[in-house]
Amino acid sequence: MNKPLRNILTFGDLCRYFEPAHNTPASLSRRVYKDTACGAWLSFVPINGRKYGEHEEVHPCVVLASFSIGSVVEGSKATFERKFEPLVPVEAVKDWLEELERLTSEAWEEANGSEEGEAWADGLTVEEE
């Protein structure tokens, strides 16, 4: 039986938390993007400084120096990012994802809150009168 994940230290911990299809940077990034309304991104820096290819398997035991989660708000200049250090509690990551969704939603509404913006958010196009 697996113990509940409490802290994130390794690439494997990130994968346990986000549950990507594969242990690759691309799969992890895709999972974070798809699981957030704001289309968040994730980047990580392993403690050994190695750069992994997008589709290269990363061993679950690779220790992280840090990882960041952020988002860019379409139609504005707003960007949000938070860097996490090793052994960050999973609750802090969960809290940031909730805060990120709130911040990006507010920034989007501020930048795009017109009828056209609302229709665009729903995937529709607004015809000019």
**pLDDT tens profile 93-111:** 999 999 999 999 999 888 8
Paired with 10 in beta bridges are 63
48 within some domain: yes
Q: Please give the pLDDT value at position 23.
A: 92
Measured CA to CA, the distance from residue 3 to residue 110 in angstroms comes to 42
Q: Is the residue at 127 inside a domain?
A: no
Instruction: Please list the residues that pair with 7 across neighbouring strands.
Output: 89
User: What is the identity of the amino acid at 111?
Assistant: A
- The pLDDT score that the predictor gives to residue 119 is 45
- Please state whether 76 falls in left (phi above 0), alpha (psi between -120 and 50) or beta: beta
Asked whether residue 85 is domain-assigned, the answer is yes
pLDDT band at 18 (very low <50, low <70, confident <90, very high): very high
Question: Of 7, 111, 22, which Cα lies nearest the Cα of 67?
Answer: 7
Angle 78-84-90 (CA atoms, 0-180°, nearest 5)? 110
Amino acid at the residue 68: S
**Is residue 75 scored above 90 in pLDDT?**
no
54 part of a folded domain: yes
Within a domain: residue 1? no
39 CB neighbour count, 10 Å cutoff: 14
What is the rounded average pLDDT of the residues 75-84? 91
pTM of the predicted model over 0.85:
no
Q: How many separate domains does the chain show? A: 1
Residue 20 lies in domain = 7-121
Q: Does the residue 110 lie in any domain?
A: yes
